[in-house]
Homo-oligomer: A and B are copies of this chain.
Amino acid sequence: MRELAEVRLMQGNEACVQAALDAGVRFFGGYPITPSTEIAEGMAEKLPALGGKFIQMEDEIASIASIIGASLAGVKSMTATSGPGFSLMQENLGYACMTEVPCVIVNVQRGGPSTGRPTAPAQGDVMQARWGTHGDHPAIVLSPWSAQETYTLTVKAVNLSERFRTPVILLMDEVVAHLREGVRMPDPRQLKLIERPRPQGGRENYRPFGGALDEVPAVADFGMGYRCNVTGLVHDDVGHPSGSPQVTNDLIRRLSGKVEAHRDEIIDYELTQTGDADMVIFAYGSTARTSLRALKLARAQGLKVGMIRPTTLWPFPEKAIEEVAERGIPILVPEMNLGQLVLEVERIAKGRSLVQPLSRVDGELFNPDEILEAVKELKPVKSRKSSKKEGI
């Protein structure tokens, strides 16, 4: 039994393992890939003592298939990979969306495209995490900036996947995955854990894929006696394949609707000194760490810089942008990619404030000075109004 609120020096990847175990994950199917491998290795070591199962599958396609299978059997399940493996998982990721199977997929991003730079940090999979599989589908994507937050968001990922019966993606970057820092481990007994809704009534009224457009229907584990049919074809509320336009419409809208309707439950972001800010940095993952340093440097020079740091990338935290855009405050969006989430910032800003992308794609972290420089060059679009709400 571990001490309450113990502090341990951990890699982000190690924190992810511990959090998953604490959140009740008892099945891991994976395939090694840098820079995520420590997660598989940690699971291989730690799951068995908890009665959990680790399996190294023949590839990433089989890995995600195995965790969907395990989850159908009622066990909280996870896999971890990086870009190339994440690309391979896309088909079955869509299957998990379609069949509403809770599971967590960790993607520790590395330099892409293709094999790219396996050990270099990057944030190039942000749009893929939203759109990588074919067809309309929901996406919940969380991104931590520290080992501590990796713990927190891993627990949250497991919870959200159960809550909404949908795959959740934990999108890490190589720096967060590999750095070691202190993680305060909560008492696992005090963690708030969520279990997928399970049916109460008899088999007759069991509708594992039914409900209103914002509803998450209850689902039975295989073996519970509900004799459920699960298919990636469009299916009716009991799971039989259907070619009906009405059934199709309702299913496709509900899959996304059940997530969209609960954006507020899912979305989270941190505001730093946005209240009096003349300019704002929007950053996530390890880029936000550099940005925070840049913010401090800027403030030290008397510049009123604030920061929005989303931990939920998808659904996109529109409100956070709305509030700033309304005030006409320019937004700098540094990303270790050619400009991905900035597209969404631009879309929401609707031209009300300047949105300035800042890209780094050389496999190195931003350094604080270059962000500081970029902040200094921001020019507001319109005269700003002062904010009613106050950030940190």
**Chain A residues proximal to chain B, CB less than 8 Å:** 61, 83-84, 86-88, 90-91, 94-95, 97-99, 109, 111-118, 120, 122, 124-125, 127-128, 130-137, 231-234, 243, 245-246, 248-249, 252-253, 255-256, 337-338, 340, 343-344, 346-347, 349-352, 361-364
Contact = CB atoms under 8 A, between A and B. Distances in A.
A90 B132 contact: yes
A249 B361 contact: yes
Contact of A112 (B84, B111, B115, B136): B136
A382 to B, nearest CB: 12
Contacts of A94: 83-84, 87, 112-114
B134 A233 contact: no
B134 A248 contact: no
A363 B243 contact: yes
Contacts of A115: 95, 98, 231-233
B113 A124 contact: no
A113 B101 CA distance: 14
A111 B247 CA distance: 13
Contacts of A362: 245-246, 248-249, 252
A364 B245 contact: yes
Contact of A114 (B109, B135, B363): B135
B137 A112 contact: yes
Given A362-B245, A362-B246, A362-B248, A83 B114 contact: no
Contact of A134 (B120, B128, B133, B134): B128
A252 B338 contact: yes
A137 B113 contact: yes
28 contacts: A83-B94, A83-B134, A86-B134, A87-B133, A87-B134, A88-B88, A90-B90, A91-B114, A94-B113, A98-B114, A111-B248, A112-B135, A112-B136, A113-B133, A113-B134, A113-B135, A116-B232, A117-B233, A117-B234, A118-B233, A120-B243, A127-B131, A132-B133, A136-B338, A245-B363, A248-B361, A248-B363, A346-B350
Nearest to A81: B134
Contact of A95 (B114, B128, B243, B252): B114
Contacts of A245: 362-364
A365 to B, nearest CB: 11
A128 B131 CA distance: 5
A86, A134, A337, A361: residue with the most chain B Cβ atoms closer than 10 Å: A134
Nearest to A337: B136
Nearest to A60: B91
Contacts of A364: 245
A325 to B, nearest CB: 9
Contacts of A113: 94-95, 97-98, 133-137, 232, 255
Nearest to A363: B248
A134 to B, nearest CB: 3
Contacts of A130: 127, 131
Given A113-B134, A136-B340, A253-B338, 8 more contacts: A84-B94, A95-B114, A113-B136, A115-B232, A117-B234, A118-B233, A243-B363, A349-B350
Nearest to A125: B134
A208 to B, nearest CB: 16
A157 to B, nearest CB: 19
A84, A86, A99, A109: residue with the most chain B Cβ atoms closer than 10 Å: A84
Contacts of A233: 114-118
